[in-house]
Structure 1
Amino acid sequence: MLSSRPICLILAVLVWGAVGALNGGCVSAYKKSVGSDTSQVFRRIYLTDFNTAWQSVRDSLQNSPIDIEVRDAGYLQTKWTDNTSEKNFTDSFAGADAYLKAQYRFRVTVAKGFYNGKPSIKVSVQKDQLVQRDVLEGWKPVETDSYDENTLLYRIGRIILIKTKLAQIEEERSKREMENSEF
């Protein structure tokens, strides 16, 4: 009787794991069928000041036209950009129907905060993707694949690193010049 008890525990864990996995899939399918907001927000925390982070966000989005920019609120939104050819190219390998039109925009928020007692900046990126399969259908939001959001956060992080290193080098150089000029 003792040997059947561990088997029952293992079966119970497997059943609950399967129920949890199926439930998560059902919830996302329900969201899509009802048409609720399926957009995701991607966040990253950087140990830098607000000015450096804001300028890094602007630099990373330099190829996208800016629609709304409110620096005091830390909010930046790009204009809608057509990406029909990219969506049709990537989705052609998946066997899905082609899109008549596709467009996206980025919404970025930059917020001050503290991380482990140090001042930090939290950058949040959200990509809104709309597609239109035919003229009568209208625009429908679709979930993004998260590549663009994570790429944008990576670019912002690299630009912050470069700006921080350049500021450090400039500070060291000015300090050396001050020491040399005193003699």
Structure 2
Amino acid sequence: MAEKSAKKSVAKKLKSAKKAIAKKPIAKKAVAKKPMAKKAVAKKSSDSKAARSELKKLLVKAEKRAAKAGERASAEAKSLKKAASKKTSAVKKDAAALVKAVKKDAAATVKTAKKDAATVVAEAKKATPVRAPRTRVATPTTPSSALTVVALRARARAAGIVGYSRMRKDDLLASLNSK
């Protein structure tokens, strides 16, 4: 802030000095009839020279201040960049540590889940009873009322009886026993 105000004051001084120089005419060859006029012309030219030298001095000062301000700003920018990179690297390290911890925890959870699943499967295999093989029920070779209508019709078809699909159970038994 102080640098900006210093720059503004220098700029104002430069501006006022330029206006002063523009208002005063520079006399290259002053022709004066009286000796007093020569002194006045010499005084005016020395004033303009002084104003010019002051202007040059102000310009030099302004350039030096600007250079110093630029150097300070670049040094400050460098320090800010370093601080920012340190902070980001610290954040990255913390994030990497958190990721490692989460991965480690996840791996441990997966291992325990696999072990638990294996034990559950082993217990399930032990607990399930083995099914007894089916035994075939012997069907009677002679048709009887213990057979269903579907079974009697199948036997009638195999025997070649005509019209078996419309017959009742009694009729099917009768026709199968007669053959």
TM-score, normalised with respect to structure 1: 0.29
TM-score, normalised to structure 2, is 0.29
Bigger share in strand: 1
Structure having the larger proportion of residues in helix: 2
Instruction: State the structure with bigger RCO (CA 8 A, min sep 6), 1 or 2.
Output: 1
